[in-house]
Amino acid sequence: MSLPDVIAAALDERELGYQRRDENSFFVTLPGTKKLQTNCWLVLTPHALLVEAFVCRRPDENFEGVYRWLLRRNTRLYGVHYCVDDVGDIHLVGRVARHAVTDDELDRVLGQVLEAGDGDFNTLIELGFATSIRREWAWRESRGESLANLRAFQHLVTET
């Protein structure tokens, strides 16, 4: 079985939605609980499988605190690490040597992308967007709008 077929079979087995841009590129959608979904590129190159997932846009505030947290979090990640792009958006990136790309290794790496991208999302929002959350909360309250998707951040509003 070719390596692209191994990847497609692993994604199909896990019932993950994906699109193939070409034979060696897969755009995978990982379902989340805190973040609705994490989109992840899997791209086969001559020497490695590149993994890249967008996690969060550039923080509005507390850049130093957010980036310090990301660097510390990197020490506990498997196969991927946090990085920022030219505008400060936060991504998870990694490389798996071609010879190491197996069903089990894909499961571990995609599991880590999902665990970090989804599991760390609220922490990143709290650290880098607290003022925006408070402003959005107040605006919604003043208009009688739903606060359902902000409930995880209620402590940011009720703190004194």
Span 19-59, pLDDT tens digits: 999 999 999 999 999 998 999 999 999 999 999 999 999 99
Distance CA 2, CA 72 (A): 37
Structural domain includes residue 135: no
Domain count within the chain: 1
In this prediction, residue 159 carries a pLDDT of 64
Does the pLDDT of residue 17 top 60, yes or no?
yes
Structural domain includes residue 156: no
Structural domain includes residue 148: no
Structural domain includes residue 151: no
In this prediction, residue 119 carries a pLDDT of 95
Structural domain that includes position 78: 3-128
Residue 76, classified by CB atoms within 10 Å of its CB into exposed (0-12), middle (13-18) or buried (19+), is exposed
Q: Which amino acid is at 52?
A: E
Distance CA 101, CA 95 (A): 10
Does the pLDDT of residue 160 top 60, yes or no?
no
Closest CA to 83 of 95, 92, 96: 92
Span 59-115, pLDDT tens digits: 999 999 999 999 999 999 999 999 999 999 999 999 999 999 999 999 999 999 999
Global confidence as pTM:
0.90
Structural domain includes residue 155: no
CA separation, residue 54 to residues 91, 117, 148 (Å): 5, 8, 24
Structural domain includes residue 158: no
Structural domain includes residue 49: yes
What is the three-state SS of the chain?
CCHHHHHHHHHHHCCCEEEEEECCEEEEEEECCCCCEEEEEEEECCCEEEEEEEEECCCCCCHHHHHHHHHHHHCCCCCCEEEECCCCCEEEEEEEEHHHCCHHHHHHHHHHHHHHHHHCHHHHHHHHHHHHHHHHHHHHHHHCCCCHHHHHHHHHHHCC
Task: Give the CATH number of the domain where residue 105 resides.
Answer: 3.30.1460.10
Structural domain includes residue 46: yes
